[in-house]
Structure formats: C-alpha cells, structure tokens
Amino acid sequence: MAQFGRLGGPGTQAPPERDIPLELPIPVWLGSEPETPAPTKTLRADVVVLGAGHAGLACARRAAERGLSVILCEAQTEAQYAPFGFDIGHLNSVWQASHGIPHYDPTDFISGYQLQCAGRAQPDLIRDFARRSGEAFDWFIAPLSEDKRGQIVPLCWPMAPDYQTRVGPFFSYPGTAELAGPLMRRPCARASGARENTARRYSSAQRPSGFCTKTAASPARSVRMKTATFCT
C-alpha cells in the first residue's frame, strides 16, 4: 500500500520542498563572464540574427526580402570578416550545370539518405533538400559579381578516373561548392552595407545592387549589419 501511495493512489503525499538556488553556478569551461559596456543606443527590428555565416546571411536576406526589418549581428569587423563555413553541399543548381556537373536524381538521393540513416531522418526535410537545395544555392550567390562567382570551386570535379561515387552503402555527389579563398574575404559584409561598429538602414533606392534585393512589401526595408562583440 505504501508503494501504491507513492505511485499516485490515496496515500500520495506532496514531495518535500527543496531550496533551489536562484543563480546556478557557472560551469568552469565557460570561463569568466565577459565585461560588456552599458548600451548607448537602442535599435529595433522585426528580426535580429546573430552571426553572419552562411545560415545567418541567408536568414537575414530572406527576411528582408519578405518585407521585415532586420539587424544582422556579427562579432568580426568588416576588415576581418570571413565565414568559417567553406562548403555548401547541394544538388542540381544552375551553377553546377554551368560546370558540366550532371543532374542527380532527387529520388535516388532521398532513398539512399533514408537507407543510410535507417529511416530516422525527417522525410520532408530530405525531400526539400533534394529538390530545392540547388535553387537555394543559386539564390544565395546571386548578389555576387560574375568575378566572385567564378572563384567558387566545385569539389571533386572533374572527377579523377578512379574516383568512385559509391562504395558499398556509401555514396557521394561530386560538385559541392567550395567558397574558400579570396571569395570569402568580406564579399557578403561589403554587399550588406556593413560598417565597423555602426548600424545603418539602407533602402533599395540608395543601393540598387546591394546585399538585399527589393522587397515587395516595403522597398525601404533591408538588412542592417552590426559588427561588434556580443554574447548571449
């Protein structure tokens, strides 16, 4: 009966009260808390994106294209800016086709991916990647000049004569875009109108070929990029 009471029967008792500290100890691996200056200015936006890497840039730009005001925060200065992610894997982009990379069957990719992960992957995500990642990549590099786009290198292409795209259950798709090298020295920061330790608002009328394309909802809304040290 005592056990029955503990499980939720008539004899159930409330758990004893415990003193829970209001402030949990900071893990040693986090180090000391950084000193942050008091804010001197308040900026408001519909969307705030932390980090101007591949994902952050895409998120900020797409939000701006949808008519939202955006602040994109990046710890590096414009002079130092260089994303740490070099490669963008995708399938069937116009960029790949221009390099002679063959068209890959999305159904074949989906089947192979689900087989390797024992069906644990979210099927809608894998399907969208297989069918639309090429379109997304072409959109991502659209603001770059022709010279900058020419610096993007397709990995493992042309293929070596003995290169095997399939070994047992494992497979690869040559043609991943490598954005390392001169291309990654400030192209997106410059295009977004970033200025060191400043945050400004730009309209498409002021920068017709800037990082943000004209938005249907409000052409004056675009990305403001703030380069400074920040923490979460």
| Mean of the per-residue pLDDT values of the chain | 75
Q: Which two tokens stand for residue 129?
A: 């990647």
Position 213 pLDDT exceeds 50: no
Q: Residues 112-125: pLDDT tens digits?
A: 999 889 989 999 99
Predicted pLDDT of residue 62: 94
Average pLDDT over residues 187-207: 34
Read off the pLDDT band of 38 (50, 70, 90): confident
% of the chain surpassing 70 pLDDT: 68
Predicted pLDDT of residue 211: 32
Predicted pLDDT of residue 132: 97
Q: Residue 110 belongs to what H/E stretch?
A: helix 106-116
Q: Residues 124-160: pLDDT tens digits?
A: 999 999 999 999 999 999 998 898 888 899 999 999 8
16 vs 201, residue with greater confidence: 16
- The rounded distance, in Å, linking the Cα atoms of 30 and 46 is 31
* 45 close to 34: Cβ distance less than 8 angstroms: no
Predicted pLDDT of residue 204: 28
> Omega of the bond prior to 158 within 30 degrees of 0, cis?
yes
Q: Taking the complete model, does pTM exceed 0.75, yes or no?
A: no
Position 231 pLDDT exceeds 60: no
Rounded alpha-carbon distances, angstroms, from residue 32 to 26, 27, 28, 48, 214: 9, 10, 8, 26, 44
Position 71 pLDDT exceeds 90: yes
Position 197 pLDDT exceeds 80: no
- The rounded distance, in Å, linking the Cα atoms of 185 and 76 is 12
Average pLDDT over residues 179-193: 49
Predicted pLDDT of residue 203: 28
How far from chain centre, in Å, is Cα 11?
53
Position 221 pLDDT exceeds 50: no
- The rounded distance, in Å, linking the Cα atoms of 83 and 200 is 22
Please report, for the chain, the start and end positions of each structural domain, with discontinuous segments joined by +: 44-82+186-227, 87-181
DSSP 186: S
What is the length of the chain?
232
- The rounded distance, in Å, linking the Cα atoms of 144 and 85 is 17
* 90 close to 135: Cβ distance less than 8 angstroms: no
